[in-house]
Amino acid sequence: MYFHVQEFINEIAADEPDPAAANALQEGLGGQFGEMRTMMQYLFQSINFRGPDGKPYKDLIQGIGTEEISHVELIGTTIARLLDGSPRYQGKPADPVDKPGSGGAVPLNIALSEGNIHHYLVGAQGALPVDAVGNPWMGSYVYNSGNLVLDLLYNLMLESTGRLQKCRLYEMTDNKTARSTISYLIVRDQAHENAYAKALETLGVNWRTSLPIPKTNAESFPEVKRLLEMGLQSKIYSFDLTGQSQAGKIVQGMSPSGDGTHLDASEQTPAGAPMTIAPERPEEFSPGADADLRALIEATAAMEMADIDATFGRMK
Ligand code: MN
Ligand code: MN
């Protein structure tokens, strides 16, 4: 079973809205090699895992799959932030919907010029489980043959392709909100690439000079370089509340990427970053509360919580 921590896995930098960047990032969320696919692929491989002797491999896949849930949350929130407010709309949140901001702009007018009409109509200024051209995410993307070596090979291919696409995404936009998340995912893709490569090494594979895939100059991206200097490409988190993960039996020794670092599975989770709730958007009728509904919402929000003991918490 899963717990939730009300933090983002990494900080999302502040910048102007950028609907075109949001559109591109949809590929990284709901595309064939996006975060929804990594999340579902590893969770299904973990659910269907066979062979009690292989527990360290199951624990590795399960821990990475759990991190991928947070990647879905991170990139989805990033897309929503990039869409939240047209760059040319100067209205105040309290303005009536039919009285848009200065300059005669209409609030969602950006939808007509950015090729995102369907997205704005269906999902408004939020993320959708679709790729960059609007194809819905599909369960048939998930690869789970049940053969351990095959599944690990495919996972390595998936992380490598994800990293390739994120490096391309980085070069499409200089928006700070987009780049903060893209850079984090580039580095974590490499960490997962390293982990699956190491798991395959324990099963007899010798990578020699193949890794990392792709051979990129991602370390020349300043945001990526900062995360590499923190060693995030070589850490695997257990996301295990009860201390039973054996993934550390696999994730140790020199990194298969040949960067001279040691793989490290000693941490339960990353530090996390504060989580906030998006503002109301009257122009998209979200959350769509009139005075009566608002009074009821505020009454609920003002209610006293019954005393609840915090039974579970993060292990420190
Ligand atoms: Mn990911
Ligand atoms: Mn990954």
Is residue 314, in this structure, part of any structural domain at all? no
CB within 8 Å of 229: residues ≥ 6 apart:
none
> What pLDDT, on a 0 to 100 scale, did the predictor assign at position 313?
65
* 33 inside domain: yes
Residue 302 lies in a domain: no
Task: For residue 124, report the distance from its CA to the centre of ligand 1, in Å.
Answer: 25
| Residue 189 is assigned to a ligand binding site | no
> Per the structure, how many domains does the chain have?
1
- Residue reference for tokens 């399960």: 62
Query: Is 159 marked as binding a ligand?
Result: yes
What CATH number does the domain containing 214 carry? 1.20.1260.10
Count CB-CB contacts under 10 A for residue 95.
Answer: 15
Q: What is the value of pTM for the model shown?
A: 0.91
The answer to whether residue 61 sits within a structural domain is: yes
Could you tell me the residue range of the domain that residue 123 belongs to? 7-287
Residue 97 lies in a domain: yes
Residue 4 among known ligand-binding residues: no
Ligand 2 centre to CA of 3 (Å) is 19
Whether residue 305 is contained in a domain is answered as no
| Residue 71 labelled as part of a binding site | yes
Q: Residue 65 Cα, ligand 1 centroid: separation in angstroms?
A: 8
User: 209-240 pLDDT, tens per residue?
Assistant: 999 988 887 888 999 999 999 999 999 999 99
Distance 109 CA to ligand 1 centre (A): 32
Q: Percent of the chain beyond pLDDT 70?
A: 89
- Tell me whether residue 95 is in a domain: yes
Q: How far does CA 109 lie from the centroid of its chain? A: 28
Flag whether 299 is in a domain. no
> For 28-82, what is each residue's pLDDT tens digit?
999 999 999 999 999 999 999 999 999 999 999 999 999 999 999 999 999 999 9
Q: How many A from CA of 215 to the centre of ligand 2?
A: 17
For residue 185, give the ligand nearest its CA.
1
pLDDT in tens, 229-283: 999 999 999 999 999 999 999 999 999 999 999 999 999 999 999 999 988 888 7
